[in-house]
Amino acid sequence: MSTETIAAVKERKPLFTAKDRKLITDPLDDDNPITVQVLGICSALAVTVQVKPALFMSMGVLFVLIMGNLVVSLIRNLIPSRVRIIVQLVIVAALVTVVDQVLKAYAYDVSKELSVFVGLIITNCIVMGRLEAFALANKPGPAILDGIGNGLGYSFILLLVAVVRELFGSGTILGFPIIGEWALNLGYKHNGLFVLPPMALVIVGVIIWVQRSRNQKLIEAN
Amino acid sequence: MKPLKRIVENFEPHFAEGGKWRKYWPLFDGFATFLFTPGHATHKGAHIRDGIDLKRTMSMVILAMVPALLFGMYNVGYQHFLALGEQAAFMDMFLYGMWKVLPLVVVSYGVGLGVEFVFCIIKGHQINEGYLVSGMLIPLVCPPDLPLWMLALAVIFAVVIGKEVFGGTGMNILNVALTARAFLFFAYPADISGDKVWISGVSNQVVNGYTGETALAQFAKTGGDVAAMGGQSFASQADFLWSGFIGLVPGSVGETSTLAILIGAAILMLTGIGSWRIMASVTLGGLAMGYLLNGFSGIFPDNAYLAIPPYYHLIFGGFAFGAVFMATDPVTASQTPTGKYIYGFLIGVLAVIIRVLNPAYPEGMMLAILFMNVMAPLIDHYVVQGNINRRLKRLNVATHG
């Protein structure tokens, strides 16, 4: 015991160890919540017609993930394991309510656009998944990093899908016209399929396809 | 043939193992076996190998489509001059139609085969000839004035997302040609449905009172009063039915003529390439549902489509074309004989339901076939399972009884 503490003091711990860094980078690629764990697909289809709602949705989930992980991690030794799901739900629901109220107060139009999907963050499998799989068994520091990593991994895919859908579906990004009048005059037309939810599924599928062909670790042996 | 064969043989070493274009072997192989019988022979065991390989099968289907294609070209011209109110000679009509349809065919083949080549070279596969048929089907189910870039996009989508991601020819769940059409239908609805697209070259200069809706929509709208149908009036219902059967009505390029499609059906059935079980059961399903819905027409007079005589469904729109060329696609249809009956019957039923009860989706046939494509493996599973259970029971009786 004593030798360990001495060793720890001797070599000064860097702010982010390699392990910590992995907590953030892993969910971005190797362990992405959407494309590898295939969680949170529902909101990836629903709020990605345009970039703006996707952006707000990403921020909401990021906030809930970080705070939820932190709170659960802090009280992880107090939660009786038989009622842990309920406790997690209460925490997540409280956080989601905060997000919902903030959106209503400061970004009312976006909040109307996102409608029920803000509330549905509660049931987003990524949130509950991280609480169950990570926060319950780790210290607050790593739990926060894990929340940031997974939140960013989710946001990255969400925004990617939203950019593609808004660009081809309505010719804009964040409401700014990218495909100008000249293209429309030449006979170009916006693609109605990209506005429909099935196309989001196809885009997520293509992202998974590209990711798996680049990342050898993800190829399953069968 | 000799010189052609010599050219192929001269090129072979360059593409064979160790040659400088080894990477493009699938490309060479594709062309060589397209021209000549492949040199594969069975090495082990006793196998009976049919002389007809996949390429010949596909060529047969193309051949079956030729009547529909030729008639489609003529009809595109016929509708064009009719809508403009001009007299034109037969050849003028045909040439006008050919001028409209050939670019569609060229783009469809060019883009589709291009995508296939790229995938085959990346994966090192042999080039499969699956696209030969899809490439001809796609232009036949498009309106004549469809912008070519839309067609190209739809073909890329259909080949990549509909086929290659599942592993290429023979692995696809959905019919490739219908995937392309569905893509167009949902992405650019204004260019593939409605009343402005079915007659070529008249969108800006429509003759007074002429509506270019599909025949079925016109028929429903006017309550079966064929004399009042926009622009193109008919002396009697029999007359209307006859021109629908021959195919002189507006529509997608290849689907208007039930007669030409029947010739194709005969070719497919005689050569044993298309399943007569599917064709027959689709027809039966459509008729059955048609009569059932027709029975309700007195109760719901608001829905004009209910009053359409059931056999009209077989003649107008894409029903016949879908039944003969799309539903019989050997890859996406059910594989078991019993399954084929169920699969076909449900396609007919669904197509008529969609047509009659939801006129917002004018092409019920497309959606019905795509839906049943997805269900086909399930049908097969239960048919096979049912057979196993039956035989198990017999076995048990034999051993215990």
Residue partners of B87: CB distance under 8 A and separation at least 6:
B81
> What integer best gives the mean pLDDT of chain A?
85
Strand pairing class (A176-177; A172-173): antiparallel
Whole-angstrom CA distances from B95 to B64, B102, B110, B138, B187 are 22, 10, 22, 20, 30
Between A90 and A33, name the one with better pLDDT. Answer: A90
**B149–A187 CB contact, under 8 Å:** yes
Question: Residue ranges of the domains in chain A?
Answer: 26-215
Taking only the tens place, the pLDDT of each residue in A173-207 is 888 888 877 878 787 888 888 988 889 999 999 99
Report yes or no: B149 and B77 within 8 Å, Cβ to Cβ.
no
- Find the mean pLDDT for residues A8-35: 75
pLDDT of residue B235: 66
B224 closest CA partner among B236, B213, B212: B236
Report yes or no: B240 and B219 within 8 Å, Cβ to Cβ.
yes
pLDDT of residue B18: 72
Q: Which residues of B touch A192 (CB under 8 A)?
A: 186-189
Report yes or no: A114 and A108 within 8 Å, Cβ to Cβ.
no
pLDDT of residue B234: 67
pLDDT of residue B253: 87
- Whole-angstrom distance, CA of residue B114 vs CA of residue B116: 5
Q: Is residue B388 within a helix (H) or strand (E), and if so which, with residue range?
A: helix B364-400
Nearest CA in chain A to B183: A193
Query: Quick one: three-class SS letters along B14-72?
Result: HHCCCCCCHHHHHHHHHHHHHHCCCCCCCCCCCCCCCCCCHHHHHHHHHHHHHHHHHHH
Task: Read off the amino acid at residue B209.
Answer: G
pLDDT of residue B348: 93
pLDDT of residue A11: 59
Q: Which residues of B touch A209 (CB under 8 A)?
A: 165
Checking if the pLDDT of B371 tops 70, the result is: yes
B223 touches chain A (CB under 8 A): no
Whole-angstrom CA distances from B389 to A104, B381, B383 are 60, 12, 10
B150 touches chain A (CB under 8 A): yes
Checking if the pLDDT of B389 tops 50, the result is: yes
Say how many CB pairs under 8 Å bridge A and B: 23
> Phi/psi of residue A42, each to 5°?
-55, -50
Q: What is the pTM of this model?
A: 0.84
Q: Which residues of A touch B149 (CB under 8 A)?
A: 187
Checking if the pLDDT of B48 tops 50, the result is: yes
Q: Helix crossing, B130-140 with B54-84: angle to 10°? A: 10
**B165–A209 CB contact, under 8 Å:** yes
* Per-residue confidence band for B303, with pLDDT thresholds at 50, 70 and 90: confident
> What integer best gives the mean pLDDT of chain B?
82
- Minimal CA separation from B57 to chain A, in Å: 32
| Weakest mean pLDDT among A58-62, B282-286, B293-297 | B293-297
**Least CB-CB distance to A192: which of B153, B161, B188?**
B188
DSSP secondary structure code for residue B170 in this structure: T
Checking if the pLDDT of B228 tops 70, the result is: no
| Weakest mean pLDDT among A2-16, B40-54, B247-261, B331-345 | A2-16
- Find the mean pLDDT for residues B292-317: 81
Q: Which residues of A touch B165 (CB under 8 A)?
A: 205, 209
**B165–A196 CB contact, under 8 Å:** no
pLDDT of residue B349: 94
Checking if the pLDDT of B190 tops 60, the result is: yes
Q: Which residues of A touch B153 (CB under 8 A)?
A: 191
pLDDT of residue B247: 83
**Least CB-CB distance to A193: which of B147, B149, B186?**
B186
Checking if the pLDDT of A66 tops 60, the result is: yes
* Per-residue confidence band for A5, with pLDDT thresholds at 50, 70 and 90: low
Q: Which residues of A touch B (CB under 8 A)?
A: 187, 189, 191-194, 196, 202, 205-206, 209
Report yes or no: B216 and B317 within 8 Å, Cβ to Cβ.
yes
pLDDT of residue B199: 74
Q: Which residues of B touch A193 (CB under 8 A)?
A: 183, 186-187
* Per-residue confidence band for B207, with pLDDT thresholds at 50, 70 and 90: very low
* Per-residue confidence band for B71, with pLDDT thresholds at 50, 70 and 90: very high
* Per-residue confidence band for B368, with pLDDT thresholds at 50, 70 and 90: very high
Checking if the pLDDT of B345 tops 80, the result is: yes
Checking if the pLDDT of B338 tops 90, the result is: yes
Residue partners of B337: CB distance under 8 A and separation at least 6:
B277
| Weakest mean pLDDT among A84-98, B55-69, B239-253 | B239-253
**Least CB-CB distance to A192: which of B149, B161, B189?**
B189
Taking only the tens place, the pLDDT of each residue in B2-11 is 777 787 777 7
**B147–A187 CB contact, under 8 Å:** yes
- Find the mean pLDDT for residues B237-259: 83
Helix, coil or strand: residue B207: coil
pLDDT of residue B39: 63
> Phi/psi of residue B249, each to 5°?
-130, 155
B227 touches chain A (CB under 8 A): no
Taking only the tens place, the pLDDT of each residue in A111-134 is 888 878 888 888 888 888 889 889
Checking if the pLDDT of B210 tops 50, the result is: no
- Minimal CA separation from B186 to chain A, in Å: 5
- Find the mean pLDDT for residues B368-386: 94
- Minimal CA separation from B253 to chain A, in Å: 22
Q: Which residues of A touch B161 (CB under 8 A)?
A: 202, 205-206
Of all residues in chain B, what percent are helix, strand and coil, respectively (each to 5)? 65, 0, 35
- Minimal CA separation from A190 to chain B, in Å: 8
Output the CA torsion sign for A8, A13, A19, A23: positive
Residue partners of A88: CB distance under 8 A and separation at least 6:
A68, A72, A128, A131, A132
Q: Which residues of A touch B150 (CB under 8 A)?
A: 189
Helix, coil or strand: residue B98: helix
**A189–B183 CB contact, under 8 Å:** no
- Find the mean pLDDT for residues B322-326: 92
